[in-house]
Structure 1
């Protein structure tokens, strides 16, 4: 491997056309730069500089080496700069449901990243129960989850309206004809999803027979399946706005879910990001209120 210090001495001599000038530019003595050139020539096994020429110039072998020497030195500078650059060297790990990362949340992440170049945002999307489990095990610094009731340690919680949806292309008389009546086709999330369980509970309370016609882990895929007429689904009202779906008339609105934000830290950059994320959630929802049963008592 060629020593970068020797390559630097060689290129300096060629650029300056003089051992004396090259030594001055590198802040060393003429004898030192001569010794470094001699060591490089010994390493490659041939002379690299025509010493008798005025100004001095590279030999044929020196000309061939010169381009490689410049590239090697440039790569060394790039490597040193990359190692010394703090950008992205620290990470904040965030878990969120898929539909939470909308344009407003993405702008919040972008604004934070511009202010904190040293921090890398590692964002993972998934089902709320899995995100909660991973947060509790320490895999995330910040997590936003959907749940029936917020936990006591949540930073803030907002209400998310949910409703049943069907394809907008469903014929208007389909309910009287009973197409969805026996059994009802459902579009669902995988087992363990909150919407899936709430959907099953409601439809069984209605004493309706049902079956899962389509299942997907992506909210987009679930909405596309409903849009295509594969079945009914229980979904966030906000997420359904951009799809060709409409509320399923026979069922009323469901009780809102809580969109809860949790964070292990309450100071520093993490807390700053949490505050910004909280503002985005506040702009799209109302604060979550504790639910009451028919007797007016807190659940």
Structure 2
């Protein structure tokens, strides 16, 4: 039987490997095409060329996203290594260090304090990583992740709304102004996030169950805006304990207000996430393990 020389073996095109890695990371051909500044049909063709080369199906479409097959998982591991070696070679030849970007999304009330201290420590320990942190409403963070714009997210949600690699219960408390309380007003003024924002429906349902009339007195997408509005006597709100300050008065059972325990905090990243993304997820897990609320 004739032998095949090493010179005649097929060589993998790094451009094809990069295409399948980005598709796997995004979970979508469409999002991968946008990230690679290409078209969906071009990305699909590159994946098919790889499948023809190896003789195996590499990706399959799931109910919500595109997932690698067993052969695809094997190829992705080698592909990431080959792409990393390519980057290291370019770095060595250029005489400059090539950074890796990790894009993190967190809710606004996790910006500052222990979170930024932990992120700063991570950056010092991983000098090659360029950390990009985006904060905002959880629904926007979730959408950005689904669009492939973020690699790792910390998310607050109703229990079991989506899967995560780790989860903790989210503590909430009712707050009023310490100097100009409003809970005894009729109707009760409410300070809330916009429609479909966290906790808004829970506040309304709780007051209606108490037989109290209510009105929306202040709406903002900014946590700091809600904190200031409550402190200045615009109304009551329902927020995590970490959002309360000495300018607020904590309400609860003495006022007939129920405990709201239907929320949780989760960490989400893709199964094919880079090792540095997983390392940052571990940092966030340790942070929440100490004090989730």
Structures share fold, TM-score greater than 0.5:
yes
Once residues 149 and 207 of structure 2 are traced to their aligned partners in structure 1, the CA distance between those partners, rounded to angstroms, is 35
Where in structure 2 are the equivalents of 1:117-136 lying within 5 Å? 117-136=127-146
Cα gap change, 1:281/1:242 in structure 2, threshold over 3 Å: closer, same or farther? farther
Q: Deviations over 1:166-215 (max 9, x none)?
A: 111246xx76xxx42x2111111122211112222222222322111111
Shift of 1:276: 0.6
Residue 101 (structure 2) aligned to one of 85, 91, 95: 91
1:282 aligns with 2:282: no
Partner of 2:85: none
Task: Report the count of equivalent residues.
Answer: 199
Residue 241 of structure 1 and its aligned partner are, at CA, apart by 4.2
Q: Which residue number in structure 2 is paired with residue 70 of structure 1?
A: none
8 A contact 1:183–1:210 mirrored in 2? yes
Q: What is the deviation of 1:240? A: 1.0
For 2:249, which of 241, 245, 261 is the aligned residue?
245
Aligned to 1:100: 110
- Alpha-carbon RMSD across the aligned residues, in angstroms, is 2.5
Aligned pair in 2 of structure 1 residues 122, 257: CA closer, same or farther (>3 Å)? Answer: same
Q: Does 1:273 align with 2:284?
A: no
**Is 1:109 aligned to residue 119 of structure 2?**
yes
Q: 2:269 aligns with which of 258, 263, 269?
A: 263
Structure 1 CA distance, aligned partners of 2:179 and 2:250?
Answer: 9
In the alignment, what sits opposite 1:28?
none
Pair 119,262 (structure 1): closer, same or farther in 2 beyond 3 Å: same
Displacement of 1:228 in angstroms is 1.1
Return the alpha-carbon distance in structure 1 between the equivalents of residues 171 and 245 of structure 2. 12
Q: How many angstroms apart in 1 are the aligned matches of 2:279 and 2:261? A: 32
Gaps of 5+ in 1: 1-82, 287-299
Structure showing greater Rg: 1
Q: Distance in 2 between matches of 1:84 and 1:148?
A: 49
Query: Unaligned regions of 5+ residues in structure 2, if any?
Result: 1-93
In 2, Cα distance between equivalents of 1:85 and 1:186: 55
Q: Distance in 1 between matches of 2:203 and 2:248?
A: 20
